[in-house]
Every structure is written in structure tokens, then in C-alpha cells.
Copies of this chain bind each other. A is one copy, B any other.
Amino acid sequence: VSVAPQTGTVEPFRFEDGALVVLDQRALPKAERWIRCETVEQVADCIRTLAVRGAPAIGLAAAYGMALADDRAAAAELLRSTRPTAVNLAWAIERCREAAEPLGTARRLHREQQEADRRLAELGAELFADGTRALTHCNAGALATGGFGTAGGVLRAAWERGRLASVWVDETRPLLQGARLTAWELRQAGIPHRVVADSAAGSLMAHGLVDRVVVGADRIAANGDVANKVGTYPLAVLAHRHGVPFYVAAPVSTIDPATPDGNAIPIEERDPAELDAAGEAFNPAFDVTPAELVTAIVTEAGVLEPPFEESIARAVAPA
């Protein structure tokens, strides 16, 4: 697996020789397979099929996809149609659509993501007391962002400062991004961790074994409601009951001021076959955590606290 020299983290893709070369996350950790995308259609396929996933990472992949396209209007529409929930996708596409040099813009967004990740990771680590036992869901590490990671970056920065004791990793059904990707990243970073069934988080908290929950986000509404991988909302409810701080870590590009609240966030339904059930199945990929259950949103522009309408408005205001 290739490691970016500038961040010391695993790279979900790299742009080289006129192509976006994508690490196929569906095959991890068992196999390291790279997919060479020379067209925007190939990039769109990688996003739709989750070869590359994670809100910031699919935004960047789409930006590089725009750089591969001849017809940028058609490419924008194609890329936007791949996945509906993450707002970073539309955000990155917009930034490349009218750019004089889309590849240069994609590279700049990638660099900015790396800087944002590192900055928010440092800010998030400040929220950890010594000996923190954290719990996370899905994967919001380097593989999900193209940088240092959001929730995963916070965990790594806290570990670097000696504040993190261990991490509980939700396996994250149905596609097991926690068991496959987060556990793999944490092992590479040397951070003690244990994978649990998603449904075990309740008893861990009831036994006082969780000090902080930290997750990423796919879209944050103007009022602070957070769409993230399905299962995030139950974690927030449990954390609230047990007095465990619940942090969302995400770059400002994940905040959509045009989305007033969680009800306005489209929730992707994925193939029921992902659940491998003996009967019919229903497979929403995300859920919405109401702002009232979020302790703070950690961004590169600062740690946003309630009332989120105000702190978010300040964070997204042009400098």
C-alpha cells in the first residue's frame, strides 16, 4: 500500500500519468488492488461501487474525475448522480466545473483537505483527556478523506499526544468499513483497538467503557443535524443517555448551509443484497443525528459548539 510522504498516511488514490489510480477499498484488507481510471466514467463507477468511499475522498475523486473529462457539464451531472448523501461531492464538482485548470484545482482541493484534516485532528485531540477510551463507527480515516482522516485523524492526533488509551471500533454493517478499514488503519498506526458488533456499543457504554464517541460526517445541515453512516444516530442516543461526549469531525466542506436541517438530507438506499438476508431487506446507508445530541463539531475552522446555527454560520462565512 502506498503511503503519502507528506502525510504519512495511506492514500485512497493518486493522480499519475494522466489517470486517477484508486485503491479498491472493497478488497481491503485482504487484497491491495489498484484501479486505473483514465475516464470520468471509470471514476464515477469507482464512487458508485464504493471502491473509493468516505465523503471527503469521494469529493476529491470527483474533482480528479472532472479533470479527466472533455465535457465538464456532462461529467458534473454523471459524478453528482453517483451518491446522493455526501455534500462534498457536489461541493468539489462545483469548484472544478468552471476552473481554468481543473487538474490544478483538484490538486489544490486535495492539498487543502490534507491541511484541514491535520488542523481539525489537532483541535479534536485537545478534547481528549488522558487515557481516553474512544469509540468510532465506520471509517473516517485516511482512506475516507485523502488526507490524515477526520474522526480517524482525531484519534491519531490524540494517540500522538499520549491521550488515547484505546479505540472501540464498530464493525459497521453491512459493508464492515470499521472491521475492515478502521481496524486496519489503527493497526498500522499501532493504536490499541477492539472491533465490536455495532449492537455492542450500548453495553460498552452501560459498563462505563467508553469516554468519547467520535465519528465523521457525510453532510452537516445548517442547524447542526448530521448525516453519517447508518448506526451513528443510535450511538448518539446511547452516548446522551450515558453522558458520553459525542463529537463529529468533518471539514467545513461537509457543512451544507443550503440544507436547513436533517429532514432535507437525501438518504441513500443501497442494494438490499448487501445484507444477505433470507427474506426481503431494506438498506439505508445513512441516518441523521439531530444537533441536540452532538456535543461539538470539530472542523479546521474551529470546534463548533451549540447553538450550532450560530457557530456553523460563522464557520462557513467567507473569511
Contacts and interface: CB of A to CB of B under 8 A. Distances in A.
A230 B174 CA distance: 17
Nearest to A287: B203
Interface stretch (A78-86, A108-116, A178-186, A250-258): A178-186
Contact of A241 (B193, B237, B275): B237
Contacts of A281: 179, 194-196
A261 interface: no
Interface in A222-244: 230-231, 233-234, 237-238, 241
* Most chain B beta-carbon neighbours within 10 Å: one of A241, A272, A280: A280
A278 interface: yes
A245 B200 CA distance: 22
Contact of A183 (B195, B206, B279, B287): B279
Given A199-B230, A206-B287, A233-B203, A194 B280 contact: yes
Interface string A180-221: 110110110000011111111111001000000000000000
Contact of A200 (B169, B238, B284): B284
Interface residues of A, number: 49
Contacts of A196: 275, 281-283
Contact of A195 (B203, B279, B284): B279
Given A171-B275, A234-B234, A276-B179, A197 B198 contact: yes
A171 B277 contact: yes
Contact of A202 (B168, B169, B237): B237
A8 to B, nearest CB: 20
B278 A29 contact: yes
B275 A197 contact: yes
Given A174-B197, A200-B284, A183 B277 contact: yes
Given A233-B206, A238-B234, A241-B237, A200 B287 contact: yes
Given A29-B278, A169-B279, A233-B206, A198 B198 contact: yes
Nearest to A183: B279
A171 B238 CA distance: 20
A171 B169 contact: no
Interface string A280-292: 1111100110000
A173 interface: yes
Nearest to A137: B199
Given A195-B282, A203-B287, 20 more contacts: A29-B278, A171-B174, A171-B277, A173-B198, A174-B197, A179-B276, A179-B279, A187-B278, A195-B272, A195-B275, A195-B281, A196-B275, A197-B275, A197-B283, A200-B230, A200-B287, A202-B231, A202-B233, A202-B287, A203-B230
Closest CB pairs A-B (n = 3): A199-B231, A195-B277, A183-B279
